Amino acid sequence: MPPEILIDDLSFSYPGGTRALDSISLSIEPAERVALVGPNGAGKSTLLLQLNGLLRPAQGRVLIGGLAVEEPHLGTIRARVGMLFQNPDDQLFNPRVFDDVAFGPLHMGLPADEVRARADAALQAVGMAAYAGHISHHLSLGQKKRAAIASVLSMSPSLLALDEPTSGLDPRARRQLIDLLAGMSVTLLCATHDMRMAAELFERTVIMDGGRVVADGPSARLLADEALLAAHGLEHP
């Protein structure tokens, strides 16, 4: 079985010349849970955007489930990689919650019954079934985050790429979100500043700084290494 994510010598620069990713190599197995930590500007979000081809490498390659992230496979890959963006107001672009959750399966070309069934199941899974007909603008941030997760779960992804899922949440909403993620069986790759969540939820941690992977190993070991964390502007959980 090919690794869920295989990144091989990946470099990327934004127009204007900032080198955001610098020779990154990384392999993540199916069902593995990996936290991606590092200071702001380390390249975490940029790396996530490479996973479904929203950004393309300048050098190196990215494979998802053995498929290169390139034109003929983009549709398949985007169904496979569920991308949770940092700001749920960007992700929930339909007026009603249900329409957002149905958007993915609808554009995958599934029949209407299946689209409805998947949307209902996804809303159920994140505890938002009662909000299907609600207007996204009226939801709390925690509810928006969960609705956004439902909007990718409905596509049955094998990998969830999450960008700061707990930022801005109050303790209760944060706990609900962590419990929700803990119950999932898919591969998780999560960019976060929430070191306590990294320690609790992810068995493996990748530390990025300045566009490079500077450490990669079991969370228990990396997150206990105070000197390493301090060197990259991070704090012990």
Binding site for another protein (CB under 8 A): 49, 52, 54, 75, 78-79, 81, 83, 85, 87, 89-96, 102-104, 106-108, 112, 115-116, 135-138, 151-152, 155
Minimum distance of another protein from residue 167's CB (angstroms): 15
Minimum distance of another protein from residue 86's CB (angstroms): 9
Minimum distance of another protein from residue 23's CB (angstroms): 25
Shorter beta-carbon distance to another protein: residue 54 or 125: 54
51 φ/ψ angles, rounded to the nearest 5 degrees: -70, -25
Task: Give dist(CA 19, CA 1) in Å, integer.
Answer: 33
Task: Give dist(CA 120, CA 98) in Å, integer.
Answer: 8
Across-strand partners of 208? 213
Shorter beta-carbon distance to another protein: residue 152 or 195: 152
Shorter beta-carbon distance to another protein: residue 89 or 235: 89
Minimum distance of another protein from residue 146's CB (angstroms): 16
Minimum distance of another protein from residue 100's CB (angstroms): 9
DSSP per position, the chain? ---SEEEEEEEEE-TTS-EEEEEEEEEE-TT-EEEEE--TTSSHHHHHHHTTTSS--SEEEEEETTEESSGGGHHHHHHHEEEE-S-HHHH--SSBHHHHHHHHHHHTT--HHHHHHHHHHHHHHTT-GGGTTSBGGGS-HHHHHHHHHHHHHTT--SEEEEESTTTT--HHHHHHHHHHHHT--SEEEEE-S-HHHHHHH-SEEEEEETTEEEEEEEHHHHTT-HHHHHHTT----
Shorter beta-carbon distance to another protein: residue 134 or 193: 134
Shorter beta-carbon distance to another protein: residue 49 or 198: 49
Minimum distance of another protein from residue 55's CB (angstroms): 9
The two tokens of residue 147 are 């609705």
Shorter beta-carbon distance to another protein: residue 101 or 207: 101
Shorter beta-carbon distance to another protein: residue 7 or 150: 150
Minimum distance of another protein from residue 31's CB (angstroms): 21
